[in-house]
Amino acid sequence: MSTDAALTDALEHLVRGIVDSPDEAEVRRKNGRRYDTLQVRVSPEDLGRVIGRAGRTAKALRTVVAALPGGHDVRVDVVDTDRRR
């Protein structure tokens, strides 16, 4: 398994453990010029759980990903699926 896939799988595993609807949780990797982005998508009802009070949960997820091999080269974004077009 590549480092890219391992980061995506690890983050998805963590997110699925937090939310009420784990089947709707998804992590996608987007390649960018400066850095890659791991986009976290969850059901609208679970968005608050993933972000947490004052963003603490999202910050903790970013910290864990950054600590993994290859994690310092990626960014983690929580995507608001209600605003998706």
Please give the DSSP secondary-structure letter assigned to residue 64: H
pLDDT at 70: 85
- For the cut 70, the answer to whether the pLDDT of residue 83 exceeds it is no
User: Helix (H, G, I), strand (E, B), or coil: what is residue 78?
Assistant: strand
Q: What is the pTM of this model?
A: 0.88
* Domains of the chain and any CATH numbers: 3-78 (3.30.300.20)
pLDDT at 56: 96
Give the chain's largest Cα–Cα span.
Answer: 34
Q: DSSP string of 2-49?
A: -HHHHHHHHHHHHHHHHSS-GGG-EEEEE--SS-EEEEEE--GGGHHH
For the stretch 25-74, pLDDT in tens is 999 999 988 889 999 999 999 999 999 999 999 999 999 999 998 888 89
How many C-beta atoms lie closer than 10 Å to residue 82's C-beta? 7
